Amino acid sequence: MRARTEPVAALLVLVMLIAASCSDSAGPSSPEAGSKGEAPGLSGSVVVSAAASLTDAFADVGEDFSEIHPDVKVMFNFDSSTTLSTQILEGAPADLFAPADEANMRKLTDANLISGEPKVFTRNELVIVTKPGNPEGIETLADLAGAGVISLCGEKVPCGKYAAEALAKAGVTIDESSITRGQDVGATLTAVTDGDAVAGIVYVTDAAKAGDKVEAVSLPEDVNVIATYPIGVLSGSTNIEVARAFMDHVLGGEGQEVLADFGFVPAS
């Protein structure tokens, strides 16, 4: 009989593994609740679905916001903007949306899911990242073709679309079989910092975050692409008051200062 029970156990384990791997892994993360500050009376929690490139900057912005409003809990859901807009269109609860391009915001405004007008709150630029010391001697986008495996974002993710625009402007074609595609900008950067990708195209802010794990090669202005980040409150928000306050905070002086610290370019 034992011969029969063990394959059954293995089957059960397999079924459980499949079930587990199908579940949604991207849980919202929350910053440490801020210590006591002046409380103008806002309370409750808001979920901010924000582009992966905003991960570190928004975590700081969220902490500042929670310090001003100790009774407010800000939770973040960071992923590629395309994944986030899909999640929201599918009915995932969120209070604010901050994608890395206007196309994904438009998907939600077209579906009447945004309350009021979204506002562009910051901008970003693209940069080439290489291994430390730039062993392949990559100086321009053209050097990426034939250099080895290049890490780019998925074609429909904002950072992937921007990279494709920049490559098109420079008239450079990289063979698809030499491209590894990250699902968001974080994964794209990791393929260079921890993987064997020779180089990648990410945002300036991601290159800054990676520090000396990469060498950044800036793009000339005529081929670079400016990424614009809009933010909007979702009409389905259960806490519109707090959501608007967070949006104002991001657009205000304190929020803009934090974004600038991380290398983002002011919106205007």
Partner 1 sequence: MSRVRRRPPAPVVAAAGVTILFFAIPLVGILQRANWSTVWSDLTTSGARDALRLSLISSVLAAGLSIAFGTPLAWVLARSAVPAKPLLRGLVLLPMVLPPVVGGVALLAAFSLRSPIGGWLHDAFGLQLTFATSGAVMAETFVAMPFYVITVEGAMRGMDQRYEDAAASLGARRLTVFRRVTLPTIAPSVVAGGMLAWARALGEFGATITFAGNVMGRTRTLPLAVYLELESNQDAAVALSLVLLAVSLLVLVSLRGRWLSSS
Would you tell me which residues interact with partner 1 (CB under 8 A)?
Answer: 1-11, 13-15, 17-19, 21-22, 80, 82-83, 86, 149, 151, 154-157, 176-183, 191, 194-197
Q: In a 3-state reduction of DSSP, which class is residue 255?
A: helix
Closer to partner 1 by Cβ: residue 42 or 198: 198
Q: Check residue 228 and report its DSSP letter.
A: E
Closer to partner 1 by Cβ: residue 167 or 219: 167
Closer to partner 1 by Cβ: residue 6 or 117: 6
Query: Least distance from C-beta 28 to partner 1, angstroms?
Result: 19
Burial class (CB in 10 A: 0-12, 13-18, 19+), 2: exposed
Closer to partner 1 by Cβ: residue 155 or 257: 155
Query: Least distance from C-beta 185 to partner 1, angstroms?
Result: 13
Closer to partner 1 by Cβ: residue 194 or 222: 194
Question: With contact defined as beta carbons under 8 Å apart, do 74 and 31 qualify?
Answer: yes
Closer to partner 1 by Cβ: residue 54 or 197: 197
Query: Least distance from C-beta 22 to partner 1, angstroms?
Result: 7
Q: How far apart are the C-alpha atoms of 65 and 55, rounded to whole Å?
A: 15
Helix count and strand count (H, E) for the chain: 9, 10
Nearest to 128 by CA among 140, 145, 119: 140
Nearest to 129 by CA among 27, 201, 220, 23: 201
Beta-strand ranges (E) seen in the chain are 44-51, 72-79, 96-98, 114-130, 150-153, 179-182, 199-203, 215-218, 226-234, 265-266
Q: How far apart are the C-alpha atoms of 145 and 198, rounded to whole Å?
A: 11
Query: Least distance from C-beta 19 to partner 1, angstroms?
Result: 8
Query: Least distance from C-beta 69 to partner 1, angstroms?
Result: 34
Query: Least distance from C-beta 82 to partner 1, angstroms?
Result: 5
Task: Work out the angle at residue 226's Cα, subtended by the Cα atoms of residues 223 and 232, and round it to the nearest 5 degrees.
Answer: 160
Closer to partner 1 by Cβ: residue 157 or 202: 157
Query: Least distance from C-beta 17 to partner 1, angstroms?
Result: 7
